[in-house]
Structure 1
Amino acid sequence: MEVNFLALLVAALSTLVVGFIWYNPKVFGTAWMNSAGLTEEKLKGANMAKIFGLSIVFAFLMAFILQFLVIHQWGVLGVTGGDPKKVGPVYDAFMAQYGTAYRTFKHGALHGFMTGLFFTFPLVAINAMFERKSWKFIFINSGYWIVNLTIMGGIICAWI
């Protein structure tokens, strides 16, 4: 299997679209600002090009590793040694039988959702509790990542 960098980039860029909606003041933006202890004045003067640029880079890194969680066919490479050219008949037989099995948006979205709920939510919650943030803050930020990972998982699984 080969990495589809365009699919990973589109999945990474989808986080910006979700963020523009999620953190809009009419959705969760105002509640997030209040729970984070931020004001409009505190947010002014930030280097937004740097923030958005690094956000895309970090989301791309997340998309890169997410492909191994949402696409089952990557697992056979781990079991057989990692290089499809070297493992030969075992890999070829597996791919002949299961090559496109469970390669849908819905299936990828399920694995993305589970990654968000069972990995990202606890990660955000642990950090936020030590930072003395509210549960509102935890649920807003975790919800954002659960939705993102669901969409990213769907894009990656269906496209790659």
Structure 2
Amino acid sequence: MEFNYLAVFVAALVPILIGFLWYNPKTFGTAWMRHAEMTEEKMKSANMAVVFGVTLLLSFILAFILPSITVHQMGAFSLVQGDLGIQPSYETFMAEYKDEFRTFKHGAFHGVIAGIFIILPIIGINGLFERKSWKYILINTGYWIVTLAIMGAIVCGWR
């Protein structure tokens, strides 16, 4: 099972690129600022080099783990990491199923599923305790669903 580091690198850029579009004032930026209680002054007070640098680092971490969510063969690969190593049965399995479900569409599907079943509950719980509106929760969750769909498509379909 080869690991595509270039796909992970490209996928790691997606959160920043989608963020520029998603949180732009012409899309959801104005509504997000209002519901996040964010002001221009708060935004200008941040060290944006640090914000974007840490965002990129965290995006790499996310992109690195996404193949385990989007690529079914990663499950089989994880089984051969023990003391026995790679057995002929694994070689046979990979020869037969190497490219099964390795499409952009399949990766996007798993990205959407991760967004709905992992991200929505996390952001929803935090938003409820932070007394944020459902609009705030849905704007942020929508961003992550779209972002994970694109990231999942890249890491699963790009071979």
What TM-score, normalized by structure 1, do the two folds share? 0.94
- The residue aligned with 1:19 is 19
Would you say 1:59 and 2:70 are equivalent positions? no
Match of 1:133 in 2: 132
CA RMSD of aligned residues (A): 1.3
Once the two structures are superposed, the pairs formed by residues 1-160 of structure 1 within 5 Å of their partners are 1-79=1-79, 81-82=80-81, 86-160=85-159
Amino acid at match of 1:120: I
Q: Mark the runs of 5 or more structure 2 residues left unpaired by the alignment.
A: none
**Unpaired runs of at least 5, structure 1:** none
Tell me the distance in 2 between the aligned counterparts of 1:2 and 1:129. 41
Of the structure 1 ranges 1-10 and 115-124, higher mean CA displacement relative to structure 2 is found in: 1-10
State the 1:4 CA deviation.
Answer: 2.0
Q: Secondary structure of 1:90's match?
A: helix
Whole-Å Cα distance in 1 between the matches of residues 2 and 99 of structure 2? 14
Secondary structure in structure 2 of the residue aligned to 1:27: coil
Structure 1 CA distance for aligned equivalents of residues 44 and 78 of structure 2: 47
Structure-1 separation of matches of 2:60 and 2:138: 23
Q: Please state whether the residue corresponding to 2:91 is helix, strand or coil.
A: helix
Partners of 1:70 and 1:139 lie apart in 2 by 23
Give the fraction of aligned pairs with identical amino acids, expressed as a percent. 53
Distance in 2 of aligned mates of 1:8 and 1:48: 24
Per-residue deviation, residues 84-130 of structure 1 (Å, max 9, x unmatched): x9222011000110001110000000001100111111111101111
The CA deviation string for residues 29-52 of structure 1, in whole angstroms up to 9 with x for no partner, is 000000000111121121101101
| Runs of 4+ more than 4 Å apart | none
Once residues 153 and 101 of structure 1 are traced to their aligned partners in structure 2, the CA distance between those partners, rounded to angstroms, is 15
Amino acid at match of 1:19: G
